[in-house]
Amino acid sequence: MSEKLWGGRFREETDVQVDAFNASIGFDWRLFAHDIEGSMAHCRMLAKQGIITEEEAGRIIEALGEIRRELEHGEYPADEDYEDIHSLVEKALVDKVGPLGEKLHTGRSRNDQVALDARLFVREAVSHLDELLQRLQEALLDQAEKNVDLIMPGYTHLQRAQPVLLAHHLMAYFEMFHRDRDRLRDALKRVNVLPLGSAALAGSTFDLDRDMVAEELGFEAVSRNSMDAVSDRDFVLEYLACASILMMHLSRLCEELVLWSSREFGFAAISDAFCTGSSIMPQKKNPDIPELIRGKTGRVYGHLVSLLTTMKGLPLAYNKDMQEDKEALFDTVDTVEACVGILARLMGEVTFHGERMLEATQRGYLAATDLADYLVRKGMTFRQAHETVGRMVLFAVEQGKELHELTLEQMKGFARRIEKDVYEWLDPVMCLDRRNITGGTGPGVVRERLKKARRELGL
Ligand code: ARG
């Protein structure tokens, strides 16, 4: 390990295994651009405050720019030769500008530095995820528009319940992703707070202009308590929590894609490019991608629970336990980005089988609720109507028939007030038409929603 940032107080060399165990460079190298961005802002402020000279600041900033380019080209090995990214950048700086480089850390601790880096990283991750979610929403919207006339069974308990539009079903996910984006954007308010200036835990003795640094870095506020600022990771947890909820939504959509592309349902087919085969069963075409996304959900939940657990017993302020936030964060970012990105593409590659879905709405008594509503319109209370239709369904089940296959005479046996117009109430197309209520599956309101959704996406 190269020379320590904290060597002065020590008589003996650190144990080699301890160095390796303690180091975070193997993963926190990913913060290099954020670390340098934060250092540049800090450096400009030091000069403005007269803590270092403008000339010194200029040389430091130029060297930091070079280091960033070198890091982008992988010129520093991310191994245990450095303790963490902060030491690496500082060493590289001293290599370039000599002892002047050591001035950069004036008024700063790695504790507020790492909190800053993580905030910058999360902010970038939020905006990237937002873009990816926009693409996924576009794909869902495109499919909903393309298949706007397709009728399918809506389910509860995975039992056929009432007919719905496929577009309405797909748009349910659109709304979930809309809220996911909203949640992420809301979290950003709490991410966008500058911790720098908190130093190790108690604030700095230098006259730092924290507002200036905040403004340079595009933060909306500066932290109000130095101990809080260096020792909380709730902004990371919020990202992980948003990611977990998002993964839950992705997983449900994927579960439906798996079900729908099964022979049993036969509602949809995923294009070959997004499926895989079996090494032994030549006929197989498997929906591995939705399955994998469903599977990766557990891993993201795991990161959330792991960091919550890491944080729960920590006394204020900084503790090294908190170094464990990074792998959880990085892996979550990688996982959700990969999942949303591939699902957005896969969604565009799904073909829906309208006939098969329509057929499914005609078996399983999906119009029973409408029949009860019909009886209410003919003067029954809803409970009476429910009971009557329940008995009609039982009768039909015994006859091996659907409701619309019963004769008028048979129906009249259950309720004399049933008339010929009842058959309209049993037609799935009519069932939909009766639901043009805000938020319902009626074709009129669904089309309206699609139009509005397109505008919301800025398309
Ligand atoms: N690698 C450390 C982390 O990730 C950086 C902060 C180190 N601070 C300290 N006092 N040891 O948390």
Pocket of ligand 1 (CB under 6 A): 24, 28, 84, 110-111, 114, 318, 320, 322-323, 326
Identify the weakest region by mean pLDDT among 11-20, 75-84, 435-444.
75-84
Catalytic residue, candidates 2, 262, 271, 278: 278
The reported pLDDT for the residue numbered 78 is 61
The reported pLDDT for the residue numbered 318 is 97
Convert the pLDDT of each residue in 76-118 to its tens digit: 766 557 899 999 999 999 999 999 999 999 999 999 999 999 9
The band of 2, judged by pLDDT with boundaries at 50, 70 and 90, is low
Whether 278 is catalytic is yes
Convert the pLDDT of each residue in 309-336 to its tens digit: 999 999 999 999 999 999 999 999 999 9
- Give the residue-averaged pLDDT of 369-385: 96
Reduced to 3 states (helix: H, G, I; strand: E, B; else coil), residue 154 is: strand
Ligand 1, atom nearest to 86 Cα: 5
Is the Cβ–Cβ distance between 147 and 354 less than 8 Å? yes
The reported pLDDT for the residue numbered 9 is 84
Is the Cβ–Cβ distance between 307 and 236 less than 8 Å? yes
Is 80 exceeded by the pLDDT of residue 175? yes
Q: Any idea what DSSP says for residue 159?
A: E
The reported pLDDT for the residue numbered 278 is 86
Give the chain's mean pLDDT: 96
pTM of the model: 0.95
What's the 87 CA to ligand 1 centre distance in angstroms?
Answer: 10
Convert the pLDDT of each residue in 113-172 to its tens digit: 999 999 999 999 999 999 999 999 999 999 999 999 999 999 999 999 999 999 999 999
CA distance 403 to 349: 36
The β-bridge partners of 163 are 153
- Asked if the peptide bond before residue 229 counts as cis, ω within 30 degrees of 0, the response is no
Is the Cβ–Cβ distance between 4 and 82 less than 8 Å? no
Domains in the chain with CATH codes:
7-106 (1.10.275.10), 111-359 (1.20.200.10), 360-456 (1.10.40.30)
Q: CB under 8 Å, gap of 24 or more: what pairs does 147-151 form?
A: 147/352, 147/354, 148/443, 148/446, 148/447, 148/450, 149/354, 149/443, 150/352, 150/354, 150/357, 150/358, 151/354, 151/357, 151/358, 151/361, 151/428, 151/429, 151/432
CA distance 202 to 228: 10
- If one residue of 88, 105, 114, 322 were mutated to test the ligand 1 pocket, choosing by the most ligand atoms within 8 A of its CB, it would be 114
CA distance 445 to 438: 6
Q: Residue 330's closest CA among 236, 232, 416?
A: 236
What's the 18 CA to ligand 1 centre distance in angstroms?
Answer: 15
Helix axes 166-191 and 110-146, enclosed angle (nearest 10): 160
